[in-house]
Every structure is written in C-alpha cells, then in structure tokens.
Structure 1
Amino acid sequence: MIFSSLDFFYLFLPFALIFHYVVGEKIGRRASIIILSVTFYGIWSIPYLCLMLSLIAANYVFAHTIKRSKTQIARKSFLILGIACSLGALGYFKYSYFIVNDVLSMDASFVEGIILPLAISFYTFQQIAFITHVYDKSVTEFDPLTYFSYILFFPQLIAGPIVDYTDVERDLRKPVERNRTIFLSGVALFAIGFFKKTIFADYYSIDSDSFYSSISTQDIGFYEAWYGSFSYTLQLYFDFSGYCDMAIGLGLMFGLQLPINFYSPYKSSSIQEFWRRWHITLGRFLNRHVYRLFGGNRKGFTVELTAGFMTFLLGGIWHGAGFTFILWGALHGAYLVINKLYQKYINLPLGIVAIFITFMAVHLAWIPFRAEGLADTLTVFKAISTPTMLPAEIDITKVLAITSGLIIVFLFPNSLQIIGYQNNTRPLINTDHVRYIFVAGALVSLSILKLILIPHTAFIYYDF
C-alpha cells in the first residue's frame, strides 16, 4: 500500500491510529505494531507475507542460537548461515532473471515469472544488521515481540530507513501513550512529505517518464536531454525526500523516533558528504558491513580506495538487477576515488564550486540509474555533451519548473529543520500551534485534490 494513496489516507491510516491508541493500550505497543504491520503487508500479498514472516522467524532463530553458542566457531558459523539465508532469498527473487538472461545469456523463461517481493531488500539488510549486532554483542537482550515489531514496523518496512535494533528498542518497549506534541510533529512532517510526493515528485515524473521512455524511438537533442535528465533528478529528490518525511512522520504518530535518512543531500560539497545525507541508513549499513569487510581505511590508502569503490559497486547492485545499476555504482565509486585523491594531494578549498561539482556529478550518475538500458544511457550522455542551437520556441513553463525545483532544493530549509527533528537547532515552527495545524491540513488537502484528479504513483524506492 502506498503512503501517498487515498486508500492509505482514508482507510488504513485512520483504522491504524484508532486501533493503536485504543486496542494498543490494552495489548501493548509491540503487539499492536505487529498486527497493523502484518495487515499492511498482507493487503499486498498473503503468500509473500508468509515468506517474509518465515525469513524473519528464521533470522530470529539464528540470532538466538548465536547468543547461546559457547564457542567462537559456532557463533561465526551460525552468523554466516543466517546471512546466507537472507541473501539467498534476496538473490533468488531479485537477481535470478538478470544472472540467467543477461550475465549467462541463457534461456531465462523458467525464472521470468518471479515477482520481486515488496520490501525484501530492506528487511533483508535490517535482518543482517540485527544478526551481526548479536554476533558482536552490541545487542545482548532481545525477545520475539520486540524483534518482530522492530523488523515489521510498517512506516519503515517498505523502503527504509534501515533501522538498527538499538534505534527503536527503547521506544518499542514503552506502553502506548498519547503525546500531543510528538503526534502533531509527526502530522506536520507527514503533511510536508505528502505534499512533496504528490505535488512536486509526481509533477516532475510526467516529463521524466516521457523523456526516458522515448529515448529509443526519437532523436534526443541537447535541450531535451538536459531538461529530461534534470526532471528525473528533481523527481527522485522530492520522491525520496517525501517518502522519508512520511515514514518518520508516521513513526512519530505511532510513538517511535526513526533515524534520519535524508538531509538536503544536493547541498553536499563532496561525494562522501552526499552519502552522509542521501539514504543515510543505507550508507551506514554499507560502511559497517561492506566497506570494513574490504579493509576500510585501516590497511593503507590503496586498500581504502579499493574498499570504497567496491562498496559503491555493490551498493549499485543492491539497488537493482541490471548493468545500468552497476554503472551507477561504479560512477559513484569513481567519484569517491577521485575525491579522496584530490583531498590527499591537492585539497584546495573550492567553496560553492565544490557543491556545484558534486551536484552535477550526482546528476549525471542518475542517468544510468533511470535509463532503460546501457544504450539509452549512452544516447543521453552523447546528447548532453553535444551542444546545439536552442529550439526556436522554448517552453518557459518547463524552464521555470526546473528553476523552481532547484531553488527549493538549494535555498529552502529541509523538513527536519522545520520541525526540529533530532537536532540541536531550534525548530522553525511550533507544530503545537493551531495555525500550523491548519497549514498541515491545507497541504494534505491540496495533495488529496491532486490525487483525486490524477492517481498516485508508487515511490521510486518501492522498486528496490
């Protein structure tokens, strides 16, 4: 179920809130969250709900076995077995067709009908994080209710953030309680995210989808390539930003503080900073479980560069089964290597120029991330690097749309700064004040009006 859909807003969310604050007071926060989350996922698919619950239960057994094992060999063996179980399921559902058809060039008809289970990439990584923390003893106490509610919590289940057990364990163990201030902060953040997704992201998606779907059938010029690619860069920004706002907002509405996952990433002055602001929890996971596995920064500069490149390459593969995602990951790996070499041997401050360079590098990498294939990617790269005369008639509306989006991205405060979420700065608004409740209502009303006129689209990260 999509957060930015009328079904969710008018049916599931009111039911969930009433159930949580009425029934949840009697059965407890964790039981309430499990029931609601199972219902949320089961609406999409009962068979894949059973798959997810089976994988989560198996991971719990592995974690419990690791905790009880007396020898290091046994602990490591069950850790490897647990990770292999999770990655095996992910590999089968997400990469079978790509490996058989594209890599091995074999008849892939026997795996062509496999449907990617919703959220499998995210709950797989969250399970791996949990079992690893049990292994290194950073998590020592856990129980089935807390563990299942931690993995299943529906606001973050489908597309993150990838939550550590310690991020939410304390909140999960608390009884259901009504806190007006926290609840209204959640409402405000949900409203902002809802507005971003339905008004901004869905608007840019029209021209972005039109552009990328026509690359192989039409001649793409310099102007069209830049406009189409910028449309996707802004669509993805507002789409993922909107989702993260809605996820954290829903978390607050149900009494949990989820970790920050998005923090004005296009304002970054280096690729390292970008990944400390974009999909923050994924970057945290990859740093802990992939970058360090390759040696990290502990074995010399060459190993550090290699580890960084390989981490981004695997990050690209995680995002999708296709050569375009491998290219996207390789580009970010190359950016990291270049940036680290610059910092080591030159390291001249560039100020605002560094922000521009980083943004353009990220923007260019989004082209293979979105393109239908490598051929389309090369077509767009060729078009944007081949200046031509501007069209006789320029659509000023499109120019203003891109300009307005960039102004919002670079000059406006982000949503978390507005409500003062998990930072030491004073919030820009008091979400408890009645006038801001009306503002939130107005944003939601405009979003709903748009959905009535034009149906919702899925969040981009739902595909991963």
Structure 2
Amino acid sequence: MDCYKKSNIEDLKAKNSYKIDLLDYSLFITFFPQLIAGPIVHHKEMMPQFHSLLNKEKALINWEFMAKGLFIFSIGLFKKVFIADSFAAWANAGFTLAQNGGTLNIFEAWVTSLSYTFQLYFDFSGYCDMAIGLALFFGIVLPINFNSPYKALNIADFWRRWHITLGRFLKDYLYIPLGGNRVSKIINLRNLFIVAFLSGVWHGAGWGFVIWGSLHAIAMVSHRIYSFLAIGKSFLNSKIYKIFAWLLTFNFLNIAWVFFRSENLSGAINILKAMFGITWVELPYKFKASWLFREIGGNDKMVGFILISFIICLCFRNSIQMLDNFKPNIKNSIIIMLFLYIALIMIGVTPYTEFIYFNF
C-alpha cells in the first residue's frame, strides 16, 4: 500500500510545523481504532493527517481507503474469531491443567505451547489489522505493527517484525537515550539487556513477565555478541544455516511464551517439564488425536489448525503485503465477503474470547 511507504510517513512528519492545541491533543488521545491496544502512534505521524482532512487537503471520504479498510478489517476479524479463538480453547485447557498441578503428556504440552504461540500472534495481529482498517475508513493511515514475525531467523529480526511500534517506542525513548549504538560494545550490550528486560516488565509485574523479559534480554545480548564475531557470509546465506537459525529462533520464542502466558510459575514449569519429557506420563495406547490430546480436548481439527498456521505464517504474504496489492474489484469483493461471512458465523457459534492484549 503506497500510503505505508517510509518516505510518505516522513513527509507527514515534516509537515508538523504547527502548534498542538487542546483540541488536537484531545483528538489524538481519543482516536478509538488504536486507543486500547495499539499500534502505538506518535503525534507527528497522526496530526498532519487529521489536519489535512480538516483543511480539505484530502477528500473527506476516500472510497479506495474505504475498500482497503474493509479488506484488512475482514482479514483481522477472520484471524481473531476463526483462528485465534480456536487456538484459545486448547491453550487455555492445557495451561489451566498445568497451573492447577495436573500433568500433560509430551504431545499435549507441545500442542499447548504451540496453540498459545499461534493464538497470541493471530489475536494481536488480527486486532491491529482491524484497527488499521477502521482508521482507513476515516482516511487515516496507522503504522504497521507486524511483519511476519515467525519468519524471523534470529531474535533481533523477530523484534523488528513483532509489535513494531512498541519496539520503535522503546528505541526512541529508552535505547537511544541510553546511548544506543554510539557507545562501547559492553555498554551497548547493557543497553540491549535493559530494553529487552523492560519490554517484559512493560506487559506486567508478574514473575512470568520478568522471566520472559530476561530470556529475551539474554537472547538479544547473545545474538549481538554473535554478530560481533567474524563469520563467513557464504555460510550465513546457506540454506542449512537459515533452517537451523529459524528452528532455533522459533523454538526459543515458543518456549519463552510459556512464561508469558502462565498465570503462575509452577504452571510454566509443569508445561516445560512435560515438553522435555522430564515428567513421566503414560501415553494412551491409541495414537489418535482424540486419545493423544484428550486432556486438552484436542482432535484432528486441532492438528490441522497447527499445520495450516505454520503454512500461513511461513509460506504466505502477511495482511499488510496483501493490502499492498489489493485492488477494489469483483474478485476481491468476493474474498472480503467470504472472510466476513466465515467470521460472523464463528462469532455466533464460539464463546466470546476477549483480545489478549486487553489484559496488559
């Protein structure tokens, strides 16, 4: 989408030469599409857009934006009610059992963690897609917040793709004031650790968030040390290295999310012990999904959802990339109606599950 190009965003910021009054401030802090859970916006990228509408520099109703807004809103709604809420049932069942002292077999434990890993992504990115779509209805462009984060090959790449506006906020108001990259390597490692650690505490004061932030801080520092080392570029570009890097990164993320999700440390430990076979549980004699995952209510549908989610996250373009190439026509109108139809059906047949980030 042309309006998401960096040069255009910079042009919008450059126009911010006027003074902000109380009405501008009130408009900025009450713009509801992104008010509750993001994307986190800066007034320099928002106020010029509001003023261009008020000064009639842009059409009050932009039908192309309306069509694109409905398109990405439909994708976000589909992500939330069809994918994320489906995973929520299995993730909640597994974590609730572990938190209450129950035991999971190794397959149930891995499926529980993977279910939350995908639930979190499709829930939060779905919310952001819906926020972007609602803003486009008003002719306002919100910043991108997700860019295929589970394709990341290292932890630094993950944070460039995940909750992008939070990363930008922490960079501008914490990392750069601490010295950023303009300091010695040791101080730079300290800065990375502080920022990553505080990103965990930012989500909540529980020990799970502290551990999650600490794990990401250690990972960021380790990756930066690794990047300091001289390694042949030919090896870094090899397929074997990329596959290994992805496996390492994704599994680290999946394990770290266990601490992020669990309501107590004992629950997180119970799931991790089961994932790595430390807790002995007798497996069912029938290797069918309904038997293998019976403690969390798993079935063939659950296995299919996990496989399809891997394919969606790794092999397909993300919603913003789809929006870039979106053209209002009959074919795309049918796609929009299909997404909306499925999402509305799921709303009617599945229990209400609030957006995850409403909890933070």
Which of 163, 166, 172 does residue 41 from structure 2 map onto? 163
Task: State whether structure 2 residue 246 is matched by structure 1 residue 368.
Answer: no
Deviation at 1:327, TM superposition (A): 0.5
Q: State the distance in 2 between where 1:399 and 1:166 align.
A: 45
Deviation at 1:391, TM superposition (A): 4.1
Distance 1:145 1:434, change over 3 A: farther
Q: State the distance in 2 between where 1:307 and 1:158 align.
A: 29
Q: State the distance in 2 between where 1:154 and 1:456 align.
A: 21
Secondary structure at the counterpart of residue 168 of structure 2: helix
Secondary structure at the counterpart of residue 124 of structure 2: helix
Match of 1:303 in 2: 187
Deviation string, structure 1 residues 286-330 (Cα, Å, up to 9, x no partner): 111112233322221111111111111111111012010010100
Match of 1:451 in 2: 347
TM-score by length of 2: 0.85
What is the correspondence of 1:407-426 to structure 2 with a 5 Å cutoff?
407-420=311-324
Q: State the distance in 1 between where 2:269 and 2:92 align.
A: 17
The amino acid across from 2:121 in the alignment is Y
Secondary structure at the counterpart of residue 276 of structure 1: helix
Match of 1:143 in 2: 21
Q: State the distance in 1 between where 2:301 and 2:339 align.
A: 23
Deviation at 1:352, TM superposition (A): 2.8
Q: Tell which has more relative contact order, 1 or 2 (C-alpha 8 A, sep 6+).
A: 2
Deviation string, structure 1 residues 138-171 (Cα, Å, up to 9, x no partner): 8762122222211211000000011011111121
Match of 1:282 in 2: 166
Task: State whether structure 2 residue 139 is matched by structure 1 residue 261.
Answer: no
TM-score by length of 1: 0.66
Q: State the distance in 1 between where 2:33 and 2:158 align.
A: 24
Contact persistence 1:263–1:278 (CA under 8 A):
yes
Which of 64, 68, 84 does residue 185 from structure 1 map onto? 68
Deviation string, structure 1 residues 18-40 (Cα, Å, up to 9, x no partner): xxxxxxxxxxxxxxxxxxxxxxx
What residue ranges of structure 2 are gaps of 5+ in the alignment?
A: 1-15, 290-299
Residue identity over aligned pairs, in percent, reads 39
Root mean square deviation, CA, Å: 1.7
Q: State the distance in 1 between where 2:145 and 2:283 align.
A: 39
Secondary structure at the counterpart of residue 351 of structure 1: helix
Match of 1:199 in 2: 82
What is the correspondence of 1:311-350 to structure 2 with a 5 Å cutoff?
311-347=195-231, 349=236, 350=241
Contact persistence 1:225–1:383 (CA under 8 A):
yes
Secondary structure at the counterpart of residue 19 of structure 2: coil
Q: State the distance in 2 between where 1:267 and 1:334 align.
A: 21
What residue ranges of structure 1 are gaps of 5+ in the alignment?
A: 1-137, 421-426
Match of 2:7 in 1: none
Deviation at 1:273, TM superposition (A): 1.2
Match of 1:152 in 2: 30
Matched positions, count: 319
Contact persistence 1:191–1:444 (CA under 8 A):
yes
Q: State the distance in 2 between where 1:455 and 1:363 align.
A: 26
Secondary structure at the counterpart of residue 161 of structure 2: coil
